[in-house]
């Protein structure tokens, strides 16, 4: 029997509302968690009570340590230099992260295949 992924569906609803209005964004899954893709590459996912997103390394370094932002280490993995995790008390607060989420879409869309 597979281990069921736990994530907050309210967070997924907020992230869906932000990201799925962007025509190039497609929703899917990664290890059973809701994930978001652009050009076939994952750039964000809802992981437990948090959201992991891929951003330029300089932005990741600048962001880590700000309120609610840490390194993204899903399933106990090592830190990834271009990934951050956003933690918010209330799912609605993720609307305040719309700019960084859209930065993530543009960054990953710009990467070479």
Residues 6+ apart with CB under 8 A from 72: 47, 52, 53, 79, 80, 83, 84, 85
Q: Is residue 1 part of a domain?
A: no
Cβ 59 vs Cβ 45: under 8 Å? no
Domain extent, residue 58, equals 9-110
Q: In total, how many domains does the chain have?
A: 1
Q: Is residue 4 part of a domain?
A: no
pLDDT tens-digit map of 20-48? 999 999 999 998 999 999 999 999 999 99
- pTM tops 0.85: yes
Q: What is the DSSP string of 38-50?
A: ETTEEEEEEEBTE
pLDDT tens-digit map of 85-109? 999 999 999 999 999 999 999 999 9
Q: What is the pLDDT of residue 15?
A: 98
């Amino acid at each position: 029997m597979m281990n069921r992924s736990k994530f907050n569906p309210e967070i997924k609803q907020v992230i869906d509302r932000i990201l799925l209005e962007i025509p190039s964004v497609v929703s899917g899954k990664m290890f059973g968690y809701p994930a978001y893709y652009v050009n076939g590459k994952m750039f964000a996912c809802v992981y437990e009570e948090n959201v992991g997103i891929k951003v330029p390394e300089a932005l990741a370094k600048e962001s880590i340590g700000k309120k609610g932002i840490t390194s993204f280490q899903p399933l106990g993995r090592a830190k990834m230099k271009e990934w951050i995790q956003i933690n918010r008390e209330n799912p609605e607060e993720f609307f305040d992260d719309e700019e960084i989420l859209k930065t993530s879409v543009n960054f990953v869309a710009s990467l070479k295949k």
